Structure 1
Amino acid sequence: MAVRVVIGILEHASVPQYNVECQLINEKLKYISQEEEEEEEMKLVWSPETALQAYVDTVKSCKLAKQSGEAECISAMAGGWNTKLIVEAWLHDGTTTTSIGLAIAARHSGARHVCVVPDERSRLEYVNAMQTSGASVPEVLVGEAKKVMVGLVGVDFLVVDGRRKDFGRVVRVARLGESGAVLVCKNASFRNMAGFRWGKVLDNATHVVRSLMLPVGNGLDIAYVGKNCGVTDSPKSPKSWIRHIDQQSGEEHLFRG
């Protein structure tokens, strides 16, 4: 399954001086993999071969250190889930290593890769940085999230920089795919939202299947979401949903009652 393959990738990439970090990541991933085979809400199809190819190619392209970094982890997830529409909400003065990884993942999965930037200054900076790196430049859309995201239908992999002031709005207005989606907040430790929960920024038609925080880079907050199967207490529904938040890890889980 998907999580177990990512665990294998991380273990393969680890070296002694980074074992502590990789072990923390592995424990998080092993925890959420316990009930993965019983989960019916995520309908995206996982390809371990594509995940590995995206991971390795990203490491080579970015010439990353021999440790688990955010660019290759995000690339492995985007490629492994065989995504068809990858959207990244980029921030001015941000790095482009994640974008390089997403471009590689898009090439392997055949996905459309779109980068959303807030203004023309950001667009010029982003395109120049990508061209300088030699990576493929994705489609770049300029404007406010509410106006730009409405035209992107069927997003199944969304990456948003947690430092963006409109972080919540970007996630809320995203038109996610009917088969579910993977949401990634990079630089999560800088996110200016006290007591953040993914459920607070999603619309009523979308619910969190599971979420986890990885100690990679400045923090990766990842949510697997299901579409059109929201939490409901309707008497017509044969089952209700119970929300549980782990007080130690901060992970949010939904269980059928």
Structure 2
Amino acid sequence: MKLVWSPETALKAYIETVKSCELFQESAVAELVSAMAAGWNAKLIVETWSKGGVIATSIGLAIASRHTGGRHVCIVPDEQSRSKYAEAMEEAGMSPEVVFGEPEEVLQRLVGIDFLVVDSRPKEFARVLRLAKLGNQGAVLVCKNASLRASSFRWIGVLEGGSRRLVRSVFLPVGKGLDIAHVATSGGNSGLSKGKKRWIKHIDAQSGEEHVIRK
């Protein structure tokens, strides 16, 4: 499945998410990720969630999966979180797949991820990004609560040493910060010529400093 942007699908998911999440805090994050996942026609949408997290983002991703005919899976750390998450989603009229366990075990079963949203607060969030088995045509990776994570995080550090490479990344001051990356894999077409150098800009969420890297 090639990642091809569809503005019509993105708009439909955005509007539905606005209506569904108007009573939730941080609904802007939900609306944005919903439109992105739907617009990229993501068939396997995966997110991480822990007890106490905002549920609006999950509602937005569930709506996106309906518009793309895809699969929405949420990874939680334990049975208690699974129960709380399922209960909250049922109240919202949603029923995504929920799995819990160690990232190494869970992510072995989720192959071909097109759209991944991780909460930057848990310490293992970067490990989830590294272990994720992305689709052959690449994927979109999203870190929410990015302003709360360690300032040492770099996309290049997460992706180095494998078959994945960063096409572009952007930090958006939405909610508590969204750090978004478009990643190409060796099995897909990134739209960039082989061997061609490209300047990549990254803004540090903590300091606001702008870093420009040639890759």
| TM-score normalized with structure 2 length | 0.87
Describe the shift of the 1:52–1:251 C-alpha distance in structure 2 as closer, same or farther (beyond 3 A): farther
1:201 aligned partner: 158
Correspondence for 2:96 among 128, 138, 151: 138
- What is the distance in 2 between the residues matched to 1:162 and 1:54? 24
CA RMSD of aligned residues (A): 2.5
Q: Distance in 1 between matches of 2:17 and 2:214?
A: 33
Task: Answer yes or no: is 1:148 the counterpart of 2:106.
Answer: yes
For residue 174 of structure 1, the aligned residue among 127, 132, 140 is: 132
Aligned residues: 205
Matching residue's letter, 1:199:
I
Query: Structure 1, unaligned stretches of length 5 or more?
Result: 1-42, 231-236
Rg (Cα) greater in structure: 1
> Are 1:104 and 2:63 matched, yes or no?
yes
For residues 176 and 251 of structure 1, the distance between their equivalents in structure 2, rounded to whole angstroms, comes to: 26
- Distance (Å, rounded) in 2 between the aligned partners of 1:129 and 1:238: 46
SS in 2 for 1:69: helix
Look up the SS of the partner of 2:63 in the other structure: helix
Q: Residue 116 of structure 1 contacts residue 142 of structure 1 at CA under 8 Å; is this kept in 2?
A: yes
Identify, as 1 or 2, the structure richer in helix: 1
Q: Deviations over 1:123-146 (max 9, x none)?
A: 011011111222x21111110111
Cα distance, 1:150 vs. partner? 1.1
Give 1:4's aligned residue. Answer: none
Scaled by the length of structure 1, what TM-score is found?
A: 0.73
- Asked whether the 8 Å contact 1:208–1:253 carries over to 2, the reply is no
User: Using a 3 Å threshold, how does the CA distance of structure 1 residues 73 and 123 change in structure 2: closer, same or farther?
Assistant: same
* Structure 2, gaps ≥5 residues long: none
Letter in 2 for 1:250: E
Q: Does 1:250 align with 2:179?
A: no
Query: CA separation in 2, counterparts of 1:70 and 1:238?
Result: 34
Distance 1:179 1:246 in 2: 23
Give yes or no for contact 2:169–2:200 (8 Å, CA) kept in 1. Answer: no
Measure how far apart 1:199 and its partner are.
1.5
SS at match of 2:20: helix
Q: In structure 1, what is the Cα distance between the partners aligned to 2:176 and 2:194?
A: 41
